[in-house]
Amino acid sequence: MKLFVGLGNPGAQYAFNRHNVGFMALDVMAAAHGFSAWRKRFQGLTSEGRLGGEQVMLLKPQTFMNESGRSAGEAARFYKIPVNNVVAFHDELDLAPGKVRVKIGGGVAGHNGLKSLTAHLGNDYMRVRIGIGHPGHRERVVGHVLRDFAKSDMDWLEPVLSAMSDAAPLLAKGEKDRFQTQVAQETRNDAQSETD
């Protein structure tokens, strides 16, 4: 079984925050791939289904971002899911809006959700980094990530979430490079068709 963890904060007031793009990615995936209804477990919300023949559990921790690892750790221990079968979806300040990069391990770059996951799981999980852009100054970062996506952001956000959902079976099979390539191609094609 694979564990896909979306990072975000629980509650309606945070639902459209840039910091919650990990939750958004899982919501689109669950709907598109016919996953089970969300239910409360492991201090989070879970939904189960199959991607590319692989059994996958989606998890949205309800512990707040800086304690996400408590929820993910509980689910991983219960199902005996090794850290290399865990994939975290999160916002990334150091990538341009709409860019998606995948890596295994590495630093947490001050991201409290990743810091918590690493503390509870170890460091060798896969990270799907979803670019939200940087506000330019360090002191503006908190306001930037905790602010809702602008209406104009939907032009790139919706195609990116959709492309990640389409390519999710590749991720479930561990084919991170093919996943990244497919997302880039799909979003490039969307942008192309809009300019044609």
Catalytic residue numbers read 19
CA distances from 127 to 39, 88, 105, 192 (A): 24, 5, 7, 27
DSSP result, 108-146: -TT-HHHHHHHHHH-S-SEEEEEE----SSGGGHHHHHT
Q: Within 10 Å of residue 114's Cβ, how many Cβ atoms?
A: 24
Amino acid at 153: D
6 SS3 class: strand
Backbone angles phi and psi of 31, in degrees to 5: -70, -45
Report angle CA 28, 5, 41 to the nearest 5 degrees: 95
